[in-house]
Amino acid sequence: MAPFSFRLSHRDGDARRGEMQTPHGSIQTPAFMPVGTRGAVKGVTMRQLEEVGAEIILGNTYHLYLKPGDSLIARSGGLHRFIGWDRPILTDSGGYQIFSLAEMRRIREEGSEFRSHLDGSLHMLTPERATDIQAQLGSDIAMVLDECIATPAPLAAAREAMERSVRWARRARTRFLQLKDPDGRPPGVTVTNPGQAQFGIIQGGIHLELRTESVERTVDIGFDAFAIGGLSVGEPADVMYDVAGHVARQLPPDRPRYLMGTGMPDDLIESVARGIDLFDCVLPTRNARNGQLFTRSGPLSIKNARFAEDTGPPDPDCPCYTCTRCSRAYLRHLFMAGEMTGSTLNTVHNLFFYLDTMRRIREAILFGTFEKLRQEFRQTYSRRPHH
Amino acid sequence: MAPFSFRLSHRDGDARRGEMQTPHGSIQTPAFMPVGTRGAVKGVTMRQLEEVGAEIILGNTYHLYLKPGDSLIARSGGLHRFIGWDRPILTDSGGYQIFSLAEMRRIREEGSEFRSHLDGSLHMLTPERATDIQAQLGSDIAMVLDECIATPAPLAAAREAMERSVRWARRARTRFLQLKDPDGRPPGVTVTNPGQAQFGIIQGGIHLELRTESVERTVDIGFDAFAIGGLSVGEPADVMYDVAGHVARQLPPDRPRYLMGTGMPDDLIESVARGIDLFDCVLPTRNARNGQLFTRSGPLSIKNARFAEDTGPPDPDCPCYTCTRCSRAYLRHLFMAGEMTGSTLNTVHNLFFYLDTMRRIREAILFGTFEKLRQEFRQTYSRRPHH
């Protein structure tokens, strides 16, 4: 298995076109990762994911650790085999879910203590444990455990969380390297994907000076690449763009940059314009289940009565399965009737739209027309539901 | 568009191998119809249905009439276009759903008055109205409105319902023929599939003498083919087989025979052995969503803890998408986590199993080995969950 690598092939302004290599294949960047929370991207099969063009998916360590458990998955041969997906997988560390989902969370220097949202059972996730769990899952890219805090956070609280995240990152890296060493490997951990890479996470809230310090100290530790955490958590879009751009400019140019948890289609383009290479977000899948379809002119709420007899496709420009086979009227009917097939069809379209947007972005960078695409997008795409 | 026809090609004992022609293509019989209640077979897309080999699906007139309404579907060009399915569709008459789902049902000679289970609104379904609705839906095969009653019913009640069903069948046939006549067509009804066929329904509960009378009187009216209603409603399997066989023997041999709402896999084989050609049932789809998978040795409850680490496929002999790509452990995990993708994967397998069972039945009849298949099935298939 090839180890992790990244090759930057084209630049267009700050936008970058490249390719990541992982043990389970390559990913063209900028790339978007559908979120496969608990071993499935909600509503679709793996083949449907392949067909919409997903090159990599994200798995949530918090969920998989609680159910069915990383040890069971390791005994099954790792997450790829367990879920039947041969392409690359990135796993998060669980930090964000502990922050957003778990009950009675208590952060200590040792790690994050929390109660499961499923059964109230008590758990302790340390930087080492989060690294071990991901080694057992065998994802191609593992993330370090970081401390996520509510925003906007006062400077002192943001500094404290950033500094702890740096100390945790150092411990996670040490553990990761121990797991790589067949002789020094800690007992009880099955490394199911020896070529796994590990990304560090930049924190610091919306405070640029903290972000700069986080970059310096996290880069010093030495990771395969770096992610930007703590954004897309309620701050205005412009602030997110500013912070992402500020961090991206300081990150090593020869490593991919991953903006975690972002975002709306226009967020993707604006972030690529600032040097971001990798994204994940639940919006295309979650909004699909809520009846929102993304189109080139903006989101469309399929439950709207005006679609009741609309025999046209959801997005006239879209060649996806849903748009070639289903009318707005049919999708509205399925949504109103609560038919799960409607969620599947909406998800197929939204994922295709997101992944197709990334394809258009990559092509524009290749041909040096990214700024034109960005302006076009600004003129034609509106965040407000256009129907 | 070719009108409806049926060609019987092989017999093996009472089992029959044939082909139905409809305006949307042919169906190899004996055939099983997945149930697409409200314009979707729950949990799967039309392409998944094609891939498991469905040649015809069933749509529920009651549900489609209430939502989105037969007039809306007619304006969209008919049910095939509305749901994006180009192959044959059979619609039931709504009688069974009024009996099993609707509130405050009142049967009068004119028709069946009921309140919608969705919003309590008052509706009247007459034999003529049920025929009109199905003409607007434009299914390839329409069913007459019949009166369904609880079983076991005393002879007098069963006779009354049977006799009313015969009178209703005559009215439905008259209306159907009026709709076929471009000059005599009742106003306000859009015939979206001029080649539609109409099946009569034999009633009479478990009383053989009533069944005989129902056959004589219904056949006299003249339909494209005949269905057996009022079975699979709680009576013992042997009683169902006896009644189905009794009716089948008296029906015209040159017309297909449809046993409505049946059944378990062994019911299909036993009914084919008695001369039945066509089936529909919610079991493969509904049980899939409840975590029950059909296999050659019997049903399997995927939530059973013993499957937690079972890396084998649901059914080792099955070449379906689910069995080639997913382990029992993965399907169990998806079921326990409540992931809708699990319902989809289970549905794909169960439908494949049902349709593959029909393929095996058809092949056995062709080669004169149906009795051997039936004995094999009896020996290897157990209704009791084997795990």
Interface probe with B: pick from A45, A60, A63, A119, most Cβ of B within 10 Å: A45
CB distance B44–A326 less than 8 Å?
no
HSE, side-chain direction, 13 A CA sphere, residue B14: 19
Mean pLDDT on B200-213: 97
**How many angstroms separate the CA atoms of B360 and B372, rounded?**
11
| Residue B92 annotated to the active site | yes
CB distance B339–A76 less than 8 Å?
no
**Nearest CA to CA, how far is A145 from chain B (Å)?**
24
A54, A27 Cβ separation under 8 angstroms: no
Question: What is the pLDDT confidence band of residue A20, given thresholds at 50, 70 and 90?
Answer: very high
Give burial (CB, 10 Å; 0-12/13-18/19+) of A349: buried
Question: What is the sign of the dihedral through the CA atoms of A85, A88, A93 and A95?
Answer: negative
Mean pLDDT on A233-256: 96
CB distance B43–A341 less than 8 Å?
yes
Residues of B in contact with A340 (CB under 8 A): 42-43, 340, 343-344
Cβ-Cβ pairs closer than 8 A, A with B, add up to 120
Q: Helices A265-272 and A237-250 sit at what angle, rounded to 10 degrees?
A: 30
Residues A217-238 pLDDT 10s: 999 999 999 999 999 988 999 9
Mean pLDDT of chain B: 96
Which residues does B contribute to its contact with A (CB < 8 Å)? 38-47, 63, 67-68, 72, 75-77, 81-84, 308-309, 311, 321, 325-327, 329-330, 333-334, 336-337, 339-345, 348
Residues B358-383 pLDDT 10s: 999 999 999 999 999 999 999 999 98
Closest CA to A356 of A321, A307, A304, A328: A321
**How much is the pLDDT for B2?**
59
Lowest-confidence pick of A73-82, A150-159, B245-254, B321-330: A150-159
Residue B385 has pLDDT above 90, yes or no: no
Question: Nearest 5°: phi and psi at A101?
Answer: -120, -40
Residue A331 has pLDDT above 90, yes or no: yes
Mean pLDDT on A131-143: 98
Question: What is the pLDDT confidence band of residue A2, given thresholds at 50, 70 and 90?
Answer: low
| Residue B146 annotated to the active site | no
Residue A123 has pLDDT above 80, yes or no: yes
CB distance A337–B43 less than 8 Å?
no
pTM score, whole prediction: 0.97
Question: What is the pLDDT confidence band of residue A152, given thresholds at 50, 70 and 90?
Answer: confident
Mean pLDDT of chain A: 96
Mean pLDDT on A152-162: 94
The reply to whether ipTM tops 0.95 is yes
Residues B159-173 pLDDT 10s: 999 999 999 999 999
Question: What is the pLDDT confidence band of residue B386, given thresholds at 50, 70 and 90?
Answer: low
Cis amide linkage into residue A186, ω under 30° from 0: no
**How many angstroms separate the CA atoms of B387 and B378, rounded?**
18
Residue B150 has pLDDT above 90, yes or no: no
Distance set, CA B108 to CA A366, B165, B171, B213 (Å): 73, 12, 14, 22
